[in-house]
Amino acid sequence: MVTNMSDNRQTSQVVFFFGAGASIAAGVPDTHVFVREFKESIHDSARRKTVERIIETLEAWKGKEIDVELLLETLTKLDAMEDEPLLKFFEGGDFILSEYSPKTSLIEELKDFIKTKAIVPSDRVLFLSPLLRFVGEFRPLDIISVNYDICVEQFCNVHKLTYHDGFDVYWNPKVFAVEGADIRLYKMHGSVMWYQSDRGSYIKLPVMTGKSEIKLITGEKAENLMLYPMQKWNYAEPLLELLVEIKHLLESETCKFLVVVGYSFRDDHIRRMLWDVARKNRDLQLVLVDPNAHHLYDEKLKYYDRQRQIPSSWYERVVCLPYKFEEVFPYLKNYYIKNLRDGSVSENSQRKVEAESEKANWMSPLRVYVKAEHTEAIVRLAKIIDSSEIMKEWPLNLELPFRMFMNLSAGGKVEEASSYFDSLWNTLQFIMVERFAVRILRDPQTIELQFNQTKHDSGGESCLPVGFLKPLLVENFSEFVRTRKGMITRISNDMQRLFTLLDSLKNYIEPFDEKGIQFVEYLELRKHLIDDSNTLKEDYQNYVKDNSDESRGRVISKVKKIEKSLLNEIFKSR
């Protein structure tokens, strides 16, 4: 009987869901590498030739490299091909694997290979250290995993944390309710440490063995409880109970964020469960961490139908972070989750304002969502905000296309990213070249460069001294690029152009502070551009003496000529 284990327990606000991509940094192969490494591990030439032919046939059928789940599914079906009804509808033709039979089964060999790769040594789980911050705030932290490996268990061992996974020695789901756990671990597809005996019991054995079948001292034979594609709806008490329990956890009103890491959403029953969860828990947001996050969301989660006509319950509620998990992980809690939480609170607040027939301030949540890289929320809010409001707020007018471009480009959304690249480049060029101005001060003798973000030269708040651009371009943008470069698996041509532009602008702006640059320092800075025919120094001295408009005009004209030539050269790199 399946019981509801969550009656007296509260879900943590942030729940993790680990797929295969979450363990790559620990040396566990991803689903495609598993296939290649398994093939290389077979030393018997005949068996290896059979495996190669199976893989080649599947890749020709799929038109792409296959993953270990398809190979497992195929080997499982080959072992049971006599029970396959579809084969009874074929007449004639040769079976291309005539040498294959249950006696030469490869499925156990593949299972054993997976187990050897899933036993992870403790020194390979250091990348999970940011979990400590989540445990500190949300203890007990709920972690769902479809992986067979022991990364989370080893992490707990290294950091002396207590975890409950539904076992004491035998399967006993009541242990989830025992207080004192730091982590509650729900392994949906089993584990290399879980076994099912031939007498129907389920037991956890943390033993180091590369074999998927062992003999217990009771005389029982036990086989690893690791579900494979063709088995995922077979009855196995722990796994069925865990599926029900996970659904209750995610439907809890306490649960606000589901962080899914490196999961392909291939399991139809899990995808349907997540759709159902999203319908019932309207406050739940999904953070998808994967280099292919945008593609996975678009193809597997965003729509109910293959024709992409019916938006699912996750529509506009998924934040795609197309980065390497181990690199972005340190930023998840205090940056991404924090900004998402603040953005959600702000948006809900403005919805209440609007419900009371008052004018909502959608700029407030937009600012926060830009930092969180919630691309869909940004697009949605930008449609209902007058574009002039965004243009008035010059840091946001630059930061929005910058963050959108970086995220979409990293995720392979080339066309969408291109429009934001153009917007960012054109806005920067307009501000810094087309609306460039020079102001000179007498006391102290200072040259101040200004960039006008509007289409008029009236001065005032719209004029930005070059020093005010420094925090945004030199510190904010450059720091963002520095940290994200290591997270990105694909760098487009436009992204490389942007990196070059930002490096050039950083070098250009750095010599200036908020008050500009003293005239003597300016002459030294630009001496390579000031020839003998340029009387800038003399003109400036005359201006200091007579304070005439004519002298000031000559100084401004010559400084403008120098600076515009530099800026035009920088933006020519496009």
Q: What is the pLDDT of residues 216-225, one digit of tens each?
A: 767 677 776 7
| pLDDT top residue among 5 and 355 | 355
Mean local confidence (pLDDT), 237-252: 88
User: Is pLDDT above 60 for 459?
Assistant: no
Give Cβ neighbours of residue 512 (< 8 Å, ≥ 6 apart).
Answer: 449, 466, 467, 470
Q: Alpha helix locations (H) across 308-393?
A: 325-331, 338-355, 363-372, 375-384, 387-392
User: Is pLDDT above 50 for 435?
Assistant: yes
Q: Which domains, and CATH codes, for the chain?
A: 14-26+120-321 (3.40.50), 31-86+102-116 (no CATH), 420-571 (no CATH)
Q: What is the DSSP string of 460-506?
A: GGGEEEHHHHIIIIIIIIHHHHHHHHTT-S---HHHHHHHHHHHHHH
Mean local confidence (pLDDT), 76-82: 80
User: Is pLDDT above 80 for 490?
Assistant: yes
pLDDT in tens, 311-325: 999 999 999 999 999
Kindly report the pTM of this predicted structure.
0.87
Going by pLDDT thresholds of 50, 70 and 90, the confidence category of residue 2 is very low
Give the pLDDT of residue 312.
Answer: 95
**Amino acid of residue 460:** G
Give the pLDDT of residue 9.
Answer: 65
User: Is pLDDT above 70 for 208?
Assistant: no
User: Is pLDDT above 90 for 185?
Assistant: yes
Mean local confidence (pLDDT), 4-28: 82
> Contact, 30 vs 292, CB < 8 A?
no
Give the pLDDT of residue 75.
Answer: 86
> Which two tokens mark 14?
């942030």
Give the pLDDT of residue 1.
Answer: 36
User: Is pLDDT above 90 for 302?
Assistant: yes
Give the pLDDT of residue 87.
Answer: 75
Give the pLDDT of residue 431.
Answer: 85
User: Is pLDDT above 50 for 61?
Assistant: yes
Give Cβ neighbours of residue 179 (< 8 Å, ≥ 6 apart).
Answer: none
| pLDDT top residue among 466 and 543 | 543
User: Is pLDDT above 60 for 8?
Assistant: no
Q: Is residue 143 classed as helix, strand or coil in its secondary structure?
A: strand
**Amino acid of residue 541:** Q
175-184, 205-214, 227-236, 294-303: which range is least confident on average?
A: 227-236
pLDDT more than 90, % of the chain: 46
| pLDDT top residue among 5 and 379 | 379
Q: What is the mean pLDDT of the chain?
A: 86
User: Is pLDDT above 60 for 4?
Assistant: no
Give the pLDDT of residue 182.
Answer: 95
User: Is pLDDT above 80 for 236?
Assistant: no
283-292, 379-388, 426-435, 447-456: which range is least confident on average?
A: 447-456
Q: Is residue 198 classed as helix, strand or coil in its secondary structure?
A: coil
pLDDT more than 70, % of the chain: 90
**d(Cα 574, Cα 405) in Å, to the nearest integer?**
16
Helical packing angle, 68-79 and 45-62, nearest 10°? 110
Other C-beta atoms lying within 10 Å of the C-beta of residue 108: 14
Mean local confidence (pLDDT), 530-549: 83
Give the pLDDT of residue 86.
Answer: 75
**d(Cα 325, Cα 288) in Å, to the nearest integer?**
10
Give the pLDDT of residue 3.
Answer: 44
Going by pLDDT thresholds of 50, 70 and 90, the confidence category of residue 355 is very high
3-7, 186-190, 261-265: which range is least confident on average?
A: 3-7
